[in-house]
Amino acid sequence: MSRREELEANLASVRARIAAACAAAGRPADEVGLVVVTKYFPASDLRLLVDLGVTDVGENRHQEAEAKAAECADLDVRWHFIGALQSNKAAAVARYADVVESVDRSSLVDRLARGAGEGGRQVDVLLQVSLDPPGSEHRAGADPDQLAALAAALDLRPELELRGLMAVAPLGEDPAAAFARLSTIRAEFLADHPEATVLSAGMSGDLEAAIFAGATHVRVGTAVLGSRPGVQ
């Protein structure tokens, strides 16, 4: 099987999973988008994916993402930055990312806005919310009670557009329980920010639970591309 055939088959099965999860949740199938997470995989895979109809890709490391975005500048694809964002990299990320999904503290906002402004760009932003129980060592994301202040900081920056929320289910917990909390957090957030309708949740192992809880796009790596090189 060629790499193209492999990716095509994997994409078909992920799309079938999304469609089945939408049906089970009583949601229209076109309500849930797919961001293919291409981290650790070469630009050649990205080209095949775009040729196979993929419109959105996700990357989580700035240096790798920046290089790939430059290498694939001719492709019509939206770049989602989904990784932990270092403050000193934020301006650079805003020069190529179309969506920054991992904004979790207000110190990032000015830097992202500066990078977007310098590039003459508008960048969509998702606030990453932590689903870890209070008191646990947070993996990533803002506490739910910090979201209002973050949204207010974004409001002041015309270069950045608040589109919604992103979350990762904590390790070692039933994702359905974590995403149920996310659904509540999102409902409260939407009451104050009705335009922020995006919910980015769900990965290869838990996309069904995320779609059940209202995800509007899932971020899938392994199930499309296979195990990441150099990762167990």
| Binding positions for ligand PLP, rule: CB under 6 A | 37, 39, 60, 82-83, 168, 203-205, 219-223
| Residue nearer to ligand PLP on the CB measure, 158 or 205 | 205
| Residue nearer to ligand PLP on the CB measure, 133 or 205 | 205
Contact 35, 56 (CB under 8 A): yes
- In the bound complex, which residue of the shown chain has the CB atom lying closest to ligand PLP? 221
CB of 174 to ligand PLP, least distance (A): 16
107 vs 11, 53, 127, 143, CA distance in Å? Answer: 37, 36, 13, 15
The owner of tokens 């981290």 is: 39
| Residue nearer to ligand PLP on the CB measure, 183 or 222 | 222
CB of 155 to ligand PLP, least distance (A): 25
Which tokens go with 54?
A: 């993929």
Contact 205, 16 (CB under 8 A): no
CB of 17 to ligand PLP, least distance (A): 12
CB of 1 to ligand PLP, least distance (A): 20
| Residue nearer to ligand PLP on the CB measure, 36 or 116 | 36
| Residue nearer to ligand PLP on the CB measure, 103 or 220 | 220
Contact 81, 97 (CB under 8 A): yes
DSSP character at residue 142: B
Burial status of residue 159 (CB atoms within 10 A of its CB: 0-12, 13-18, 19 or more)? buried
CB of 128 to ligand PLP, least distance (A): 8
Residue 216: how many other CB atoms lie within 10 Å:
18
CB of 70 to ligand PLP, least distance (A): 21
| Residue nearer to ligand PLP on the CB measure, 159 or 221 | 221
Sign of CA dihedral 14, 19, 20, 24: positive
